[in-house]
Amino acid sequence: MEVIIQPTDETAAAFVATIVAHDLRANPHLVLGLATGKTMERVYRCLVRMHKEEKLDFSLCSTFNLDEYVGLSPSDPHSYRHYMDHHLFRHVNVDLRNTHLPNGLADDLEKECTRYEALIQRFGGIDLQLLGIGKAGHIGFNEPLSALRSRTRVKALTPTTLKQNAPSFGGEERVPRRAITMGVGTILESRRCLLLATGESKAEVIAKAVEGPITSMISATTLQLHPRCTVIVDESAAGQLKEKDYYRWIFANEPEWEEYR
Ligand code: F6R
Give the tens place of pLDDT for each residue, 185-205: 999 999 999 999 999 999 999
**Mean pLDDT, range 208-232, rounded to an integer:** 98
Ligand 1 pocket check for 179: Cβ under 6 Å: no
Ligand 1 pocket check for 35: Cβ under 6 Å: yes
| In the predicted structure, residue 261 carries a pLDDT above the cut 90 | no
In this prediction, residue 116 has a pLDDT band, given cuts at 50, 70 and 90, of very high
Query: Tens digit of pLDDT for each residue in 125-160?
Result: 999 999 999 998 999 999 999 999 999 999 999 999
With CA atoms as reference, report the closest residue to 198 among 2, 29, 5, 1.
5
Query: Tens digit of pLDDT for each residue in 7-22?
Result: 999 999 999 999 999 9
| Average pLDDT of the residues of the chain | 97
In this prediction, residue 173 has a pLDDT band, given cuts at 50, 70 and 90, of very high
Contact 190, 182 (CB under 8 A): no
State the pTM of this model: 0.97
Ligand 1 pocket check for 134: Cβ under 6 Å: yes
Check residue 125 and give left, alpha or beta (phi > 0: left; psi -120 to 50: alpha): left
Ligand 1 mean position to 95 CA, how many Å? 24
With CA atoms as reference, report the closest residue to 44 among 77, 76, 80.
80
Ligand 1 mean position to 11 CA, how many Å? 19
